[in-house]
Amino acid sequence: EDGYGLWLRYRPLAAGPAADLATRAGSIETEEAADPTIAAAVAELRRALPGMTGRPAGQGGTLLIGTPASPRIAALGLLLARAGDDGFVIRDVTVGGRRLLVIAGNRPVGALYGAFHFLRLAQQGALPARLDVAERPRVKLRLLNHWDNLDRTVERGYSGQSIWAWWKLPIASDPRYVDYARANASLGINGAVLNNVNAKPDSLTPDWIAKAAKVADVLRPYGIRVYLSARWSAPVELKQAKTADPLDPAVAAWWRAKADEIYRAIPDFGGFLVKANSEGQPGPQDYKRTHVDGANMLAAAVKPHGGIVMWRAFVYSDVDPDDRAKQAYDEFKPLDSRFADNVIVQVKNGPIDFQPREPFHPLFGAMPKTPLMLEVQITKEYLGFATHLAYLAPMWSEVLAADTYAKGRGSTVAKVIDGSLEGHRLTGMAGVANIGSDRNWSGSIFDQANWYAFGRLAWNPDLTPQAIAGEWARQTFTPDPAFVTPVTAMMMGSRQAVVDYMTPMGLAHLMATGHHYGPGPWVGDLARPEWNPTYYHRADKDGIGFDRTRTGSNAVAQYAAPVAKRFADKRTVGDDFLLWFHHVGWDERQPSGRTLWEELVSRYDRGVATVEGMQRTWASLAPMIDGERAAQIASFLVIQKEEAIWWRDASLAYFGSVSGRKLPTGVRPPAHDLQTYEAIRHPYAPGHH
């Protein structure tokens, strides 16, 4: 048990559920075995069921899987409209006096998702006596964004090398690609951007297109399309055009020909993801053109093939910004209604950059005429890399459930991205993948839960983090409630713990330079103002926090009036975002009765204490699972505890020195002086290239 099996372990069930499962799904039948997707579904069921039932295949009742193309399924009257294009129906029916379990979709991919859903239910213990399930995904594009480089390093990757063994492609595949596809399909993930948003032009050359095509061939039966990140200046860098000006007809012709070439190799190619004019990446603004000019030109190139363009809104300019948090909105909001209909704008969950906690991005709800997709980061660039146990579903749900008030109460981010608020058909959610060549895929066992949760939320943004954690834990470890209940509670509190020991009460971006590992709140000498932690926390002898109200940058005004009003008032903003929106005096009383300084100190202590509690929980649970995974998790919790203390101590040493406030009595002083923390360097930290 090294974690390679993820949540698809298919271990023997307890006697009762095993016998029931064998009775209901002993032999798998289909009339569509020639379809590669149905074949994949059947193969999965045949691989899974004997292991779970402990009985050889072919005995017991029949499970029939397929689409209405199968006469037996068509005859059943399953009301498949409920399943939509990508969903499924799972039902126990009686035909000619015999019981039959049916898994059906309108398309083969729906049946595949249904098979995985059935296995998800079965792995968790007893199935309902009569199954009658109908599901369909709420969001159309459910994509992983790999930040994988062509040399197999991974930007912000903490789980080994890229799983794409580019050098051996296109001739050699890898069994891992199939297991990757199975895992994604089990969640309904239906697309993968193969390469880093900080893209190289080479990925668009014939050699690399052939490699991507091979990956696409392997993923295709699992309903997963391949996409590529496109480097804006590729035509120039490949020496095939003099300019990359989107309004130059020769440039548009180059991209059209390039798209034609890609589609010849990958007929169902999904399209391009573009990071333009952001953090040094080239883009249309280099030619005094807009994001719209760029996106629409590319969109025209892929349109004849049914492709799309995902244009990222993660931008901040290098001219001294009064507030980086305002820039994406300022640049993109005026472009609403001008994007082509096969363009979707990809917006990070918060206005800065994947911090442990950010308010929802103000663009959600502010561009009603443009489809927006949500981008979250599964890889934990700012939450302790792969070692810290931080379950991210609560963070993503917090954003999905956030009310933009764009069309009055109830205009949640979830409704923006599933298209229901404004009637968009092109909808999506992207997660920056945390997958690499490590045997356990994600660098740690608990980080598998973040991949899992991303997929589940992209399928249904209303699923609760608690429910997702429970189903993941039952499949990944054991369905035993004595294990699942405490482990779920531990997961549910874990992200808040990271917030508490790294960036409590609305602080953000206090990580060390470059690699973003460990504390660096004192850093204030980097070339661009908004690269510096001091820019974000603005601590001085009087107080701390970024004033984003009218007296400051007025970023609050980018939100709809009721939201802006709540954020703008110290009494209503809530302590999650207090210092995000306000500069607060160190001695100002908080609702707890403590001063702000005392409150901050208590948050850092609470974060450390939560990690200690996680260690105790794990010590009591570890004997219930295999030794290999249990030991790795325990050792990572030791790392997390040491580093939580490091974060707490370094932060308190620094903020104590700036504020001149003393630690409240009874509080443990930092182990070292500030200079010691400031001197810590991590020259070989992973993930930054």
Binding site residues, ligand BDP, CB under 6 A = 155-156, 197-198, 275, 279, 314, 353-354, 381
Which CB atom, from 203 or from 602, has the smaller least distance to ligand BDP? 203
Which CB atom, from 156 or from 211, has the smaller least distance to ligand BDP? 156
Least Å distance between CB 155 and ligand BDP?
A: 5
In the block, which residue shows the tokens 């929106």?
A: 581
Least Å distance between CB 20 and ligand BDP?
A: 47
Least Å distance between CB 30 and ligand BDP?
A: 42
Q: What is the DSSP string of 418-430?
A: TSTTTT-S--EEE
CA pair distance 589, 607, nearest whole angstrom: 21
Which CB atom, from 120 or from 509, has the smaller least distance to ligand BDP? 509
CA pair distance 504, 511, nearest whole angstrom: 13
CA pair distance 112, 67, nearest whole angstrom: 10
CA pair distance 364, 378, nearest whole angstrom: 20
CA pair distance 652, 177, nearest whole angstrom: 46
For residues 316 and 275, the answer to whether their CB atoms sit within 8 Å is no
Three-class DSSP labels, 569-592: CCCCCCCCCHHHHCCEECCCECCC
CA pair distance 331, 310, nearest whole angstrom: 16
Least Å distance between CB 335 and ligand BDP?
A: 19
| Cα atoms in the Cβ-side hemisphere of radius 13 Å centred on 286 | 16
For residues 274 and 315, the answer to whether their CB atoms sit within 8 Å is no
Least Å distance between CB 688 and ligand BDP?
A: 7
Least Å distance between CB 627 and ligand BDP?
A: 36
Decide: residue 430, CB within 10 A, 0-12 exposed, 13-18 middle, 19+ buried. Answer: buried
Q: What is the DSSP string of 313-374?
A: -----SS--S-GGGHHHHHHGGGTT-S-TTEEEEEESSSSSS-SS-PPPTTTTT-TTS-EEE
For residues 523 and 640, the answer to whether their CB atoms sit within 8 Å is no
Which CB atom, from 157 or from 479, has the smaller least distance to ligand BDP? 157
Which CB atom, from 86 or from 353, has the smaller least distance to ligand BDP? 353
Which CB atom, from 102 or from 197, has the smaller least distance to ligand BDP? 197
Q: How far is CA 379 from CA 436, 439, 494, in A?
A: 10, 16, 15
Distance separating the N- and C-terminal Cα atoms of the chain: 32
Least Å distance between CB 331 and ligand BDP?
A: 15
Which CB atom, from 16 or from 514, has the smaller least distance to ligand BDP? 514
Residue nearest to ligand BDP (CB): 353
Q: What is the dihedral of CA 196, 346, 413, 358, to 10 degrees?
A: 50
CA pair distance 662, 586, nearest whole angstrom: 11
Query: What contacts 479, CB < 8 A, 6 or more positions away?
Result: 14, 123, 124, 125
Q: Which residues are catalytic?
A: 279, 353, 381
Say whether 509 sits in a helix, a strand or coil: coil
The dihedral built from the CA positions of residue 453, 455, 457 and 460, taken in this order, carries a sign that is: negative
Which CB atom, from 375 or from 471, has the smaller least distance to ligand BDP? 375
Least Å distance between CB 197 and ligand BDP?
A: 5
Least Å distance between CB 325 and ligand BDP?
A: 14
Which CB atom, from 109 or from 199, has the smaller least distance to ligand BDP? 199
